[in-house]
């Protein structure tokens, strides 16, 4: 069987960390693309040598040429600038929109059957841009944000209850921004909703920490934004697609009427498989949850309108 091919556009912190996870797992060949000359080639060489220690048969190459990404099964887009302290994800909008539009045009022709995962922030808007600039069917484009936000909420819930984080299953809706909507009613520990395990005011504090989860790391790092958990989240999504896992994961998906929203990428639970977003799961929201979701989607829609896409 031919090995799968994953191209990663942007060989910076998130891109290179994702490449490392793929190479270590040996589940696909990896192409690392960047505009900086030599850097992706150097990281690819380093990773190739690590593969011999990991006993991984993955081929890892670095390039500044889009032709090398041709025939990809999955393309991860992390190209752009990362957040600096005091910057919101939305401050990145215009710079990253220019970069990501160029990426969309660069990758589309060579990999017509690929599934694209947008990671660059503001991620929901970048997913929309990639959808528009590649001309791909909407179910073949999605954004990474929900898996990361859910991981952050799960971590804080696990610390609060002193349980293994893997036992916590978090649900988060909405845009991958400050108005994301963690859903305590649907977040469970071994099937028990956290609303039955943690007092309301404490849950609210965990929700707030999750909303500021990215900024908390930015303010500690001072020179960039998170990348270990973003790479782990991206890896999980890539794997679900490559292996046609039909795995329910939160992702920014193009809505066509679900949750009363049309024509917008926004975070919802979805089934990910070889076809990309194979199904969107519609949860029954109460009034307060729906209001928060609509507000969060409105923030994404505002950014999309700013860019006029
Ligand atoms: N094409 C390809 N790569 C590009 C382009 C371009 N036009 N412009 C910039 N890049 C590359 C940079 O050279 C850099 O190597 O994108 C990479 C970004 O890497 P980092 O600066 O290390 O940023 P990172 O922490 O990986 O975050 C990338 O993901 O989580 C989001 O908010 C984050 O938008 C940011 C993105």
Residues near ligand 1 with C-beta < 6 Å? 9-15, 34-36, 78-83, 92, 96, 99, 102-103, 119-121, 224-225, 227, 230
Model confidence at 241: pLDDT above 80: yes
12 shares a domain with 66: yes
DSSP 204: H
> Among the three residues 144, 172, 200, which one is the final residue of a domain in this structure?
144
**Which of ligand 1's atoms lies nearest the C-alpha of 11?**
15
pLDDT attached to residue 233:
98
- CA–centroid distance, residue 101 to ligand 1 (Å): 13
179 shares a domain with 233: yes
CATH number of the domain within which 180 lies: 3.90.110.10
195 shares a domain with 263: yes
* Residue in the structure block whose two tokens are 């992390």: 78
Model confidence at 92: pLDDT above 90: no
Burial class of 271 by CB neighbour count within 10 A (0 to 12, 13 to 18, 19+): middle
At residue 308, the 3 state secondary structure works out as coil
- CA–centroid distance, residue 144 to ligand 1 (Å): 14
DSSP per-residue letters across 178-195: TT-EE-GGG-EETTEEGG
Best of 17, 33, 34 for a ligand 1 pocket test (most atoms within 8 Å of beta carbon): 34
Q: Helical H runs in 58-197?
A: 93-108, 123-134, 146-161
| Residue-range definition of the domain harbouring residue 130 | 5-144
Selected catalytic residue, list 13, 128, 139, 176 = 176
Taking CA atoms only, the protein residue closest to ligand 1 atom 4 is 79
Model confidence at 210: pLDDT above 90: yes
**Which of ligand 1's atoms lies nearest the C-alpha of 225?**
25
152 shares a domain with 296: yes
pLDDT attached to residue 143:
98
Taking CA atoms only, the protein residue closest to ligand 1 atom 5 is 79
pLDDT attached to residue 193:
97
Best of 8, 9, 10 for a ligand 1 pocket test (most atoms within 8 Å of beta carbon): 10
84 shares a domain with 19: yes
Please state the rounded mean pLDDT for residues 132-137: 98
% the chain with pLDDT above 70: 99
Q: What confidence tier does 238 reach under pLDDT thresholds 50, 70, 90? A: very high
pLDDT attached to residue 140:
98
**Which of ligand 1's atoms lies nearest the C-alpha of 120?**
34
pLDDT attached to residue 150:
96
CATH number of the domain within which 110 lies: 3.40.50.720
Please state the rounded mean pLDDT for residues 67-89: 89
Residue 176 appears among annotated catalytic residues: yes
pLDDT attached to residue 89:
65
Residue 291, Cβ neighbours under 10 Å: how many? 12
Q: Which of 34-43, 56-65, 87-96 has the lowest mean pLDDT?
A: 87-96
177 shares a domain with 123: no
253 shares a domain with 153: yes
User: What rounded mean pLDDT belongs to the chain?
Assistant: 95
**Which of ligand 1's atoms lies nearest the C-alpha of 119?**
29
For residues 83 and 191, which has the higher predicted lDDT (pLDDT)? Answer: 191
Q: What confidence tier does 133 reach under pLDDT thresholds 50, 70, 90? A: very high
CA distances from 76 to 79, 166, 230, 298 (A): 9, 25, 12, 26
Model confidence at 85: pLDDT above 80: no
130 shares a domain with 249: no
Please state the rounded mean pLDDT for residues 154-165: 97
- CA–centroid distance, residue 280 to ligand 1 (Å): 29
pLDDT attached to residue 177:
84
248 shares a domain with 175: yes
Q: What confidence tier does 223 reach under pLDDT thresholds 50, 70, 90? A: confident
How far is residue 138's CA from residue 135's CA, in Å, rounded to a whole number?
8
Name the strand (E) or helix (H) holding 48: helix 39-54
> Among the three residues 144, 171, 201, which one is the final residue of a domain in this structure?
144
pLDDT attached to residue 88:
74
- CA–centroid distance, residue 29 to ligand 1 (Å): 21
279 shares a domain with 132: no
Count of domains for the chain? 2
151 shares a domain with 123: no
125 shares a domain with 158: no
Model confidence at 107: pLDDT above 80: yes
Please state the rounded mean pLDDT for residues 67-92: 87
Please state the rounded mean pLDDT for residues 276-302: 95
């Amino acid at each position: 069987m031919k090995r799968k091919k994953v191209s990663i556009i942007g060989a910076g912190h998130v891109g290179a960390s994702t490449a490392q996870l793929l190479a270590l797992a040996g589940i696909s060949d990896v192409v690392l693309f960047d505009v900086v000359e030599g850097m992706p080639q150097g990281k690819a060489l380093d990773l190739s040598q690590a593969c011999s220690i990991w006993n991984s048969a993955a081929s890892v190459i670095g390039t500044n040429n889009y032709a090398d990404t041709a025939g990809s099964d999955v393309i991860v887009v992390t190209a752009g600038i990362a957040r600096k302290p005091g910057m919101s994800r939305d401050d990145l909008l215009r710079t990253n929109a220019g970069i990501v539009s160029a990426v969309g045009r660069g990758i589309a022709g060579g990999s017509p059957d690929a599934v694209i995962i947008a990671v660059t922030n503001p991620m929901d808007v970048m997913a929309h841009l990639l959808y528009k600039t590649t001309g791909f069917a909407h179910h073949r484009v999605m954004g990474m944000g929900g898996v990361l936000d859910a991981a952050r909420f799960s971590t804080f819930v696990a610390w609060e209850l002193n349980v293994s984080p893997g036992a916590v299953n978090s649900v988060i809706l909405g845009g991958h921004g400050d108005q994301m909507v963690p859903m305590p009613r649907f977040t469970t520990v071994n099937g028990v909703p956290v609303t039955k395990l943690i007092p309301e005011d404490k849950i609210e504090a965990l929700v707030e920490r999750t909303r500021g989860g990215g900024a908390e790391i930015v303010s500690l790092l001072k020179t960039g934004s998170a990348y270990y958990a973003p790479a782990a989240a991206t890896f999980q999504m890539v794997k679900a697609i490559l292996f046609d896992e039909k795995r329910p994961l939160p992702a920014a998906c193009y809505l066509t009427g679900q949750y009363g929203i049309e024509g917008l990428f926004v975070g919802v639970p979805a089934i990910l498989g070889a076809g990309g977003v194979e199904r969107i799961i519609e949860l029954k929201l109460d009034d307060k949850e729906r209001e928060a979701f609509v507000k969060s989607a409105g923030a994404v829609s505002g950014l999309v309108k700013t860019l006029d896409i």
